[in-house]
Amino acid sequence: MEAHPSGKRWRGRLRSQLYGAAWRMHHVLRPTRTFKRGAERALQLDLTELTLAFDDLPAAFDGYRILHLTDLHLDNIDDTAVETAARVAGIDCDLCVITGDIRDNIHAPLHPLIERLDHVLSYLRAPDGVLGVLGNHDGWAMVAPLERIGVHVLLNEALTLSRGADDLHVTGLDDVHRFHTEEAHAALDRAPEGFCIALVHSPEVAGLAAERHRLYLTGHTHGGQLCLPGQRSFSSGLKRHRDLGKGLWRHGRMVGYTSRGIGACIIPFRSYCPGEVVLVTLRRGADHAALNGTEAALG
């Protein structure tokens, strides 16, 4: 599972220094009115409803609903768990998936964080349970606590959901942005024959996943978080596949969705880029997509 951070060491040191400086500023600004107003706006979460049709979806999974949560950063803004719980309450789904970055501060104690996530999960109605993968802010020490509150963490492995004679396969990878390992590639290659969904924190292995997967759910980018009007972002925050930084996309036969995520990273603000939870409904039929009831191009 999680390995040493990938990339050049000087970049890692610089990243750590910038991260530490940002967190010190965070604590200085936390009591201010500007901070509180920005945090309140950042937690106005959208519900995005995505309907995706696939001609090879197993018949028993026609109408299957997946609630996708990502980039919660529950220890950044105090009320993130409360607002997320309120947003997911009343949503009926078959399965919930969490694609990483449950926490923000990589040095924060885990117990309060796990309590906050447990509060969110208590509002879910997902009979097939909750699957999760690690993000670049997460770490191996979170796995056991997450599993104790009911999150099945996929560590470069696949899981099969069955309905009668039909199967749906889900491959989950450790973070491939900061903790990239060859085992992530191997897990994609080992995906079972049939309809497969990839859960990955970042879209950066979309090209590899497309060989055996039909749907790719991801996050990491926050949609830019701090954007210009029209959700025009300054940076994708990606090393590869920068064109897949937000929203609905296609890579080969595989369809992907890069969620804007729920929380805020370090800076407790969002501009022109509201957070979202995503409800994906799978349909059997000619390949097409609809986003919030409107037909969407798949490219």
pLDDT value at residue 106: 85
Q: pLDDT tens digits for 195-230?
A: 999 999 999 999 999 999 999 999 998 876 776 787
More confidently predicted of 179 and 118? 118
| 229 vs 187, higher pLDDT | 187
9-296 to CATH, choices 3.60.21.10, 3.30.2390.10, 2.40.50.100, 3.20.20.140: 3.60.21.10
Q: 0.85 exceeded by the pTM?
A: yes
CA 170 to chain centre: 14
The per-residue pLDDT for 59 is 98
145 near 114, Cβ under 8 Å? yes
Strand order in the sheet with 288-291: 151-153, 130-133, 95-99, 65-69, 276-284, 46-54, 288-291, 294-296
Q: What burial letters (b/e) apply to 133-168, b meaning 16+ CB within 10 Å?
A: bbbbbbbeebbebbeeebbebbebbbbebeeeeebb
Report the interhelical angle of 110-121 vs 80-88 (nearest 10°): 20
**Given the structure tokens 């796990």, which residue do they identify?**
114
Share of the chain above pLDDT 70, in %: 84
The residues pairing with 153 across neighbouring beta strands, listed in sequence order, are: 132
Identify residue 101 by its one-letter amino acid code.
Answer: D
Tens of pLDDT, residue by residue over 111-129, are 999 999 999 999 999 999 9
Query: Within its chain, how far is the Cα of 281 from the centroid?
Result: 17
